[in-house]
Amino acid sequence: MPDPVKESTILHVDMDAFFASVEQRDHPQWKGLPVVVGSPPDKRGVVSAASYEARKFGIHSAMPSREAGKRCPHAIFTPPNIGRYAEVSAQIFAIFERYTPEIEGLSLDEAFLDVTKSLGLFGTGLSIAEAIRAAIHGELGLTASVGIASNKFLAKIASDMNKPDGVTLVPREPRAIKAFLAPLPIGRLWGVGKVTEAMLRKAGLHTIGAVQEATDAQLLALVTKAQAQHFRRLCAGEDDRRVEPHVEAKGISREQTFGEDVSDPRVIRETLLFLIEDVGRQLREAGKYARVVGIKVRWQGFETITRRLTLTPAACDNFTLRRSALALLDKVAFEKPVRLVGFGVYELADSAGEQMNLLDATGKGPEKHERLSRTLDEIGKRFGRASRRRAP
Ligand SMILES: [Mg+2]
C-alpha cells in the first residue's frame, strides 16, 4: 500500500519581501530603491521588512531602524500598513483557492497548499506552482517563491532556495532527498533553536549532511533520545505533519521560540502577554474581530498542544484577548520546560456581532475596552512603539 504522506504533493508559497514589495508596487517611484517598512530611523523601533535593494546594505527585519538608517542613509522609510497587507493577502489566498481547498496559512504572506487531489485536474505540482505564480504576478503585480515536495518540512526549505521569484522542486527518492538536504546548514532543521544549533556546531556538526553521517553515540552525547530521533527523521527529509486547512488560515498568530527552554511560569505568561498585544494590534489594524482565540505551547522534546476558545461576541480588544488566553493558559499543566509559546486569533469577522451592550465583570462594555485598546495603539504609533515588531 502506498504511504499516503510520501504520495502527497505539498507546495509552500512564500511572497518575496511581502510588505516592502506591496509598498513598492503601490508607490511605483520606489521601484528599484531601498525601501524599509518600519519605524523611522530617528525613532526607537525596528524594521518590519526590507526590500531586496535595502537588504544589499545588510538591512533585515527585526534590526533597529536606527541601525538601518546608518547602513543606508538614503533608504526610504515607511510605516507598516497592516490593513493594506491584509487586503492583498486575502487576494493571494483567493488565488490559492482556485487550485485546492487544503490551505494552511502561516502568516499573511505564506501558506502550505496540499495539491495532491488537484493533480488530476491541473497536472503536476510544478504546473500548479507556476500557475499560482503567474496569477500572483499578472493580477497582483507581486512575486512569490514556491517549494514543491512530498511534505511540509521539505517544501518550506525549498521555497527559500531560489528566492526571490523562484521555484524549487524537491526530489522524491529517499537518497536524492538526503543529497538535497546534505549541504544545508543545520539551522534549517525544523525545531532547532539557537542554543541547540550552537551546541551541534561546537561538536563539528555544521551541515545536515554531517548529522546524517553522525553515529547514534555522537548524537546521544549531545541531545536527548527524542531529539536525536527527531533530527534523524528530519535529516532524512521525513515529516508526517499534515496540511491543516482552516486551522490558522485567515487568522493572525505569532509565536516565540525561547533561546533556552523555560520553566518559569512568569516568563511564559509575560511572553504570552507580549504576543497578545502584538496580535491584537494587527487584528485591530486589519479592522477585524476574532471569534476564536488560541494558544500554543511546545514542550522540550517537540510535543505541542493547542487550546482554543470561542468568543461571544467576537472581540478585538486586548482586555478580552488577554483574559481568554490566560484562562486557556491556566488550564495547561506545566510539567516540562517550554520551548515555544504562541497566540493566535481565528475565524475573523468584520464586526463583533450581537450582544454589543453587555457589560462584563469590570462594569465596562466591550466597546469601551475596544476604544481603550485603539487609543493605546494610536499612542504606541505616535511614539514609535507600534513598529517594534518582528516581521511575519
Ligand atoms: Mg515572505
State mean pLDDT over 373-381. 77
State mean pLDDT over 194-221. 91
State mean pLDDT over 229-257. 81
Pick the CATH number of 1-170 from 3.30.70.270, 3.20.20.110, 2.40.480.10, 1.10.4080.10: 3.30.70.270
Gap from CA of 392 to ligand 1 centroid (Å): 8
CATH of domain 175-235: 1.10.150.810
The per-residue pLDDT for range 184-199, each reduced to its tens digit, is 999 888 777 777 888 8
Active site residue: 110, 248, 285, 370, which one?
110
Q: Which contiguous run of DSSP H or E holds residue 346? A: strand 338-349
What SS3 state is found at 135?
helix
The per-residue pLDDT for range 27-67, each reduced to its tens digit, is 999 999 999 999 899 987 788 899 999 999 999 988 889 99
**352: pLDDT confidence band, cut at 50, 70 and 90?**
confident
Gap from CA of 130 to ligand 1 centroid (Å): 17
Amino acid, single-letter form, for residue 5:
V
Handedness of CA 79, 80, 84, 89 (dihedral sign): positive
Gap from CA of 341 to ligand 1 centroid (Å): 22
Domain 252-387, what fold?
Dna Ligase; domain 1 (3.30.1490)
**Most confident listed range (59-63, 175-179, 270-274):** 175-179
Q: What is the pLDDT of residue 364?
A: 56
Give the whole-angstrom CA distance, residue 29 versus residue 254. Answer: 33
Q: What is the pLDDT of residue 70?
A: 96
Gap from CA of 221 to ligand 1 centroid (Å): 36
Decide which of 171 and 373 is more confident.
171
Q: What is the pLDDT of residue 6?
A: 56
pLDDT of residue 354 exceeding 70: no
Give the whole-angstrom CA distance, residue 314 versus residue 352. Answer: 4
Gap from CA of 134 to ligand 1 centroid (Å): 17
Residue 354 among the catalytic residues: no
**3: pLDDT confidence band, cut at 50, 70 and 90?**
low
Q: What is the pLDDT of residue 247?
A: 46
Decide which of 271 and 170 is more confident.
170
Gap from CA of 109 to ligand 1 centroid (Å): 5
The DSSP secondary-structure symbol of 202 reads H
Q: What is the pLDDT of residue 287?
A: 82
Q: What is the pLDDT of residue 357?
A: 39
pLDDT of residue 288 exceeding 70: yes
pLDDT of residue 316 exceeding 70: yes
Question: Within 143-264, where are the H helices?
Answer: 152-159, 174-181, 194-202, 208-213, 216-220, 225-235
Gap from CA of 85 to ligand 1 centroid (Å): 12
Gap from CA of 110 to ligand 1 centroid (Å): 6
Q: 157 is written with which cell numbers?
A: 526549505
Range(s) of the chain covered by CATH 3.30.1490.100: 252-387
pLDDT of residue 281 exceeding 70: yes
Decide which of 102 and 43 is more confident.
102
Decide which of 244 and 208 is more confident.
208
Decide which of 1 and 140 is more confident.
140
pLDDT of residue 180 exceeding 50: yes
State mean pLDDT over 361-374. 69
Gap from CA of 349 to ligand 1 centroid (Å): 25
Range(s) of the chain covered by CATH 1.10.150.810: 175-235
**pTM for the full predicted model:** 0.65
Range(s) of the chain covered by CATH 3.30.70.270: 1-170
